[in-house]
Amino acid sequence: MYPKKGGDGLWNGARWRHGNQGIIFTPPRPRRSNGDLKAQRRQGKASAETALHLAIVEQCGAGAVLHTHSQAGTLLSQWALQRDPQTRASGEGRLELADLEMLKGLQGFTSHACVARVPVLANDQNLPRLASRALPLLADAPQGLLIAGHGLYAWGSDLATARRHLEILEFLLEQRWRQLLLEALLNPPQVPHQSGTQSTVTHTEATPPSSSPRP
Ligand SMILES: [Zn+2]
């Protein structure tokens, strides 16, 4: 978990229902701590990203939606789309997070032996269009959605649940990039020998020293 930071500390905004008073907005503000979230809540001005927050509220029946710009979310969301020509072309993919005890912190997950497939969408400055592309992906999303090169949206039935999902997903993202890094270090890609170099070595090893006079 992140006792002193929300994701990487980059709360970008929160939306949650507040009784009959509608949805409360917190304006984007970098380096907001968890403790500040409660203290800072107020009826603020809706940001440009509100369309996506509201799509999640309406489609998932969420009571709260939180959004972060963590480095792990930014990094892995780009990686998830770019590593495959098909997802790169469609602008839509999934990031798989598997076999980890912390998965059980997500609603509906009761074992570590399962896979959370977080939908990933290409970023788009047209937020209504981005929200409409997100809608069909939300129903089976593990309470989280990644926007490539941008960040994570996490939600829940209330603010406490959304915050738990956010912290769990941020942990899983951190774990995933470390896992990928470890795998790359343990299994570095094989660099093919250049034909000229290999030929030279072979020649050197195979050719006897012709200038040496035999006794
Ligand atoms: Zn954002």
| Dist. CA 193 → ligand 1 center (Å) | 44
What pLDDT is stored for residue 41 in this prediction?
A: 46
pLDDT tens sequence across 147-184? 999 999 999 999 999 999 999 999 999 999 999 999 99
| Dist. CA 140 → ligand 1 center (Å) | 22
**pLDDT above 50: residue 212:** no
Residues with Cβ within 8 Å of residue 185, at least 6 apart in sequence? none
- Report which of 26, 32, 27, 43 is spatially closest to residue 10, judged by C-alpha positions: 32
| Dist. CA 70 → ligand 1 center (Å) | 10
Which CATH number is 33's domain given? 3.40.225.10
| Dist. CA 69 → ligand 1 center (Å) | 6
| Dist. CA 99 → ligand 1 center (Å) | 29
Q: How confident is the model at residue 16 (pLDDT cuts 50, 70, 90)?
A: low
* 3-state DSSP helix/strand/coil % of the chain, to nearest 5: 45, 20, 40
| Number of domains into which the chain is organized | 1
Round the average pLDDT of the chain to a whole number and report it: 80
Average pLDDT estimate for 204-215: 46
Q: How confident is the model at residue 5 (pLDDT cuts 50, 70, 90)?
A: very low
Note whether residue 100 is domain-resident.
Answer: yes
Q: Are 59 and 138 in contact (CB under 8 A)?
A: yes
| Dist. CA 49 → ligand 1 center (Å) | 7
Note whether residue 195 is domain-resident.
Answer: no
Q: How confident is the model at residue 199 (pLDDT cuts 50, 70, 90)?
A: very low
**pLDDT above 70: residue 13:** no
What pLDDT is stored for residue 206 in this prediction?
A: 43
Better-predicted residue by pLDDT, 8 or 110: 110
Q: Are 150 and 48 in contact (CB under 8 A)?
A: no
**pLDDT above 50: residue 19:** no
Q: Considering only 5-9, 170-174, 186-190, 210-214, which range has the smallest mean pLDDT?
A: 5-9
Exposure of 155 by Cβ count < 10 A (0-12 exposed, 13-18 middle, 19+ buried)?
buried
Q: pTM to 2 decimals?
A: 0.74
- Note down the domain range covering 69: 11-185
Note whether residue 190 is domain-resident.
Answer: no
Residue 21 one-letter amino acid: Q
| Dist. CA 149 → ligand 1 center (Å) | 10
| Dist. CA 204 → ligand 1 center (Å) | 59
| Dist. CA 67 → ligand 1 center (Å) | 7
**pLDDT above 50: residue 35:** no
Note whether residue 90 is domain-resident.
Answer: yes
Q: How far apart are CA 48 and CA 12, in angstroms?
A: 11
Note whether residue 212 is domain-resident.
Answer: no
Note whether residue 109 is domain-resident.
Answer: yes
Note whether residue 193 is domain-resident.
Answer: no
| Dist. CA 151 → ligand 1 center (Å) | 6
Note whether residue 211 is domain-resident.
Answer: no
